[in-house]
Amino acid sequence: MRQGGKEELRASVLKTYLLRVRTEKGERFVRQLLVGAGIDPAAVDNETGWVSQLAAKRALRAIADLLGRDAIRHRGDWVTHSEALGILVRMLRSGEHPVDAYRYLAENAREVTRIGTWDIEEGEPGKGLRPGAHESVRMTYRLRADGGEDAERADPDGEELLCNARAGELASLPRIWGLPEAEITHEACLAKGGDACVYAVRWEDRRSRRGLVLGVVGGATASGGIVAGAGGPLAGLLAACLGATLGGGAGILWDRSRSERAARAFERNRIAALERGLELRGDGGATPGDLTGSVLGGKYRIGRKIGSGGIGVVYAAEHIALGHEVAVKVLRGAAARDGGEIARLRREAYIQVHVEHPNVVRVLDLDEMPDGSIYVVMERLVGRSLADKLGRDGLLTPVAATRIFIHVCGALEAAHKKGVVHRDLKPGNIFLCDDGVAKVLDFGMGKLASAESLTQTGYTLGTPEYMAPEQCIGAQVEQRTDIYALGVMMYEALTGELPIVAQSRRELLDLHQRQIPVPMRVRRPDLPIPEALDAAVMQCLKKRLNERPKGAAQLEQLLAAVPLDGLPSSYPPGIGRRPGGTRRPKWDQNANTVTGPAANDAADERDH
């Protein structure tokens, strides 16, 4: 089927409109529209494909006749439809704010058009305390020297449709961040004799404090006006101050809620784009088999499997050129197709690359296999997890536990300085190397202070036994959230028992809010637990954030000050977890716990 002219525009120029037509009119109508425009329907199924500008104009005319010309300028929510996101994969891997999308478009114009270029002129962002604070750019589209300018001048109506489609694209980009559509002012137009199309783009800044300002002003005005009319100016002034305070507080909560909704929308769209990218390559259903003996990325020769779980497989491997041993973690099964797990593995790699500390496992590489499966290359660790050691030995002596948890504090302090909260500290994520070093694993659920959350408001993320009270209710987490989880681990490691247990997940989350654990020296009077160590652990388990140690560095100091002289470095056989000691109940962990990719799932393995 001949389109007429060269293939010069990405099919994404039509995709959002066709998705709307398909929803409102049906698939058969879409096929007829495309055939009438001279476009093979298969060419548009993949939004990263190419169509000619002549065929695109014919299709846009048909769409405008059907939906109205205004629909070309306003794509609406269709821009975030899963089938329209494949073209955005590269941009969403690096973009953090809407302005990044416009920068990317200007720098990578050839990804969407072979006949034009984009230039960007950035405006001053809105001041965050002003109602309706905004950001702005000016985008200029010019035809290339060989872009068919004569043909454009001969078809001003078709060029106007393309101009409107470009405006629709620019207006829709903030929606990916969960924001309203951008305002577009078309300052110059090729279809009207201009040398270029110039679009002034203005969109809402999601970091603005509009709720705070409106709350303060509204609260002060309403309260002050009502009271002043009844009680005089002084009473009105006091009421205005009180109203401003209450209104400001409500505004802050509204701003925070709005920001979190936008963050979730962006994360959801980013993951959907990644999934769509895999689908377009025909890899969405790929499930890697046994990789033993294969070579990944031309660099890593895969050896034996050293760990596996429901979502990940860990292999021993060797760097072919350098000869050193590494560990390779590969998503498998449903996780290889799950955008959430892919995002967590990427986040884990990103965080562990940027948090450089001897007690954080080092990430060396992250890439994709030819079938689209994601893998991450890490330093090879030899030893076993803390979960494995506790499962076999029952508990640790204060001497052994203090050494291990001082190492964990060092890792957490390094992560917290980078704005990272781990959010899933548990014995399975602490690896005890044979050389005596303890390392923190699996930052796949770690939250960057500047990054987006992977969860919805009110939805808990983590392992229930180790979750802080604020985490149990889905509230904002911070570094002292990790301190609570570390306190639970220390309590379990030193006593052989969890500080709080329940028969259901719901009950456990509730008890973390209100139950005060029994001190370790009371729970296990038969063990030589120093009073200072007991006090440090119990301080970590405080319900209020401000009553816990201020950070991992302060906790490390408390642990280092514990007197250990004369205490055994190991317990004799028979001293361990008490018969009938409390362990986590056997509820359905998969249904009630959200976890990142397993870093060392095989408890009986000696290396990672």
User: Which residues are the active-site residues?
Assistant: 424
Residues 427, 386: contact at Cβ < 8 Å? yes
Return the axis-axis angle of helices 479-495 and 386-393, rounded to nearest 10°: 20
Helix (H) or strand (E) holding 522: helix 520-523
| Alpha helices (runs of H) in 108-193, residue ranges in sequence order | 149-154, 156-172
Tokens of 415: 């992560």
CA distance 547 to 595: 28
Sign of CA dihedral 490, 495, 500, 501: positive
Reported in sequence order, the residue ranges of 380-526 that DSSP labels E, i.e. its strands, are 383-385, 420-421, 430-433, 438-440, 447-448
CA distances from 379 to 111, 123, 147, 360 (A): 36, 45, 50, 10
Residues 486, 425: contact at Cβ < 8 Å? yes
Closest to 34 in 3D by CA, of 42, 46, 25: 42
Return the axis-axis angle of helices 339-354 and 233-280, rounded to nearest 10°: 110
Residue 39: helix, strand or coil by DSSP? coil
CA distance 398 to 567: 8
3-state DSSP of 328-378: EEEECHHHHHCHHHHHHHHHHHHHHHHCCCCCECCEEEEEECCCCCEEEEE
Residues 460, 474: contact at Cβ < 8 Å? yes
CA distance 257 to 244: 20
CA distance 414 to 433: 19
**First vs last Cα of the chain: how many Å apart?**
55
The values of phi and psi at residue 180, to 5°, are: -65, 160
Q: Which residue has the tokens 């060392």?
A: 600
Q: Which residue has the tokens 């590494």?
A: 326
CA distance 205 to 183: 12
Residues 509, 464: contact at Cβ < 8 Å? yes
